Chain A
Amino acid sequence: MVIEALPLQATAELFPNGISRYAVGGLLVGLGTVVIYLGTGISAGASTFLESTLSYVSDRSRFQQYVSSRDWRVVFTLGIILGAAVYAAVYQGGAWTTDVQPWRLLLGGVFVGIGTRVGKGCTSGHGVCGVGSASKTSIIGVLTFLAVAIITAQLVAALGVSP
């Protein structure tokens, strides 16, 4: 009994909310990517939307290179918002709002906007599509942003910033 209980206890500490919601959610994220890929051959990432949408209002070449994909990227993002809204309606019973402070969201968002575009991808482009492609570039990208994010989050928490 003791032998059986120890791993269970360790698992409960590592995963206080279980793993099923994470695993099921991750499989669905992969499925959404695969639906688009099998129909179109496109590996859709989420962060290109930021630049492709800027091409509607700026004629800079960095944004204009995405003109041909900007329309479907808007549709993809609207789909993500709607899909999450369906989840909220079915499982959440209304709106949920974060307690993380606005300055963290705004400043963090600026870094995310710069970093994902300079670094050629985000959690979905590098993380889901790139790792799924066994791309060395993406694996290095993921290890980089994951390590730096862990250090940053721990530092911010150690400085007493919460939430």
Chain B
Amino acid sequence: MSDDRHPAFMPLILVGGLVFGFGLAYSQMARPEVVLDFLQFEDFGLVFVMFGGAAVTGVTFFLAPRLLGRAPLTGDTFERRLKSFDRNVLIGGAIFGVGWGLSGICPGAAYASLGIGNVTILWALAGMFIGAYLQGYWRTRSETRDTAATGAD
């Protein structure tokens, strides 16, 4: 599959990541203290990071499917990011909220935080991998159990 990829695919992902990470650092969101100040209502500026980002994607996601044909490097159609709603969105969102409020860091900002030299953030990154592994471990087991109980699905 990766053999068929356009030679510019990985370089473009890298460039996108560079701009994304530079932006996160510029916005100060890579600093947990700034996120905690926002959550404690001491500086509301962080609202502009998410809405600034969502405004740019919003315009693009609206126009690209209408004006452009297919993505040049993959041939895929342009679609919006739509995920199905179920109680996991609420449960997971609440668990994420506890973690974000306790630590002041989210995944993308944690990678950027490492980039600004914040080696202490490795504690958070270690925690995120542990958490991601735990939920994958539990959910793979429950899937297996459900399949065994209900037969083929």
Contact = CB atoms under 8 A, between A and B. Distances in A.
B29 A115 contact: no
Given A38-B71, A54-B136, A148 B97 contact: yes
B135 to A, nearest CB: 5
Interface size class of B (residues with CB under 8 A): 35 or more
B83 interface: yes
Contact of A75 (B13, B26, B41, B72): B13
Contacts, number: 551
Interface string A75-88: 11111111111111
Interface string B33-59: 100100111111111111111111110
B53 to A, nearest CB: 4
Interface string A94-133: 1111111010111111111111111111111111111111
A68 B106 CA distance: 24
A25 B81 contact: no
B19 A122 contact: no
A115 B49 contact: no
B103 A32 contact: no
| Chain A interface SS verdict (over half) | helix
B90 interface: yes
Most buried by A among B56, B71, B84, B97: B97
Nearest to A136: B85
Nearest to A51: B132
| Chain B interface SS verdict (over half) | helix
A11 B17 CA distance: 33
Interface in A19-53: 19, 21-44, 46-47, 49-51, 53
A92 B25 CA distance: 10
A12 B132 CA distance: 39
Contact of A98 (B15, B118, B125): B118
B89 A119 contact: yes
A153 interface: yes
Most buried by A among B45, B57, B120, B129: B57
Nearest to B10: A75
20 contacts: A24-B52, A25-B52, A28-B20, A29-B20, A33-B53, A38-B60, A40-B71, A60-B136, A68-B1, A76-B13, A96-B116, A102-B123, A106-B123, A106-B126, A111-B100, A122-B96, A130-B83, A142-B93, A144-B93, A153-B40
Name the 3 nearest CB pairs between A and B, nearest first.
Answer: A79-B17, A119-B92, A109-B127
Given A109-B126, A112-B106, A148-B93, 12 more contacts: A39-B73, A44-B16, A83-B22, A92-B116, A95-B118, A108-B127, A112-B99, A115-B97, A116-B132, A137-B85, A155-B101, A156-B102
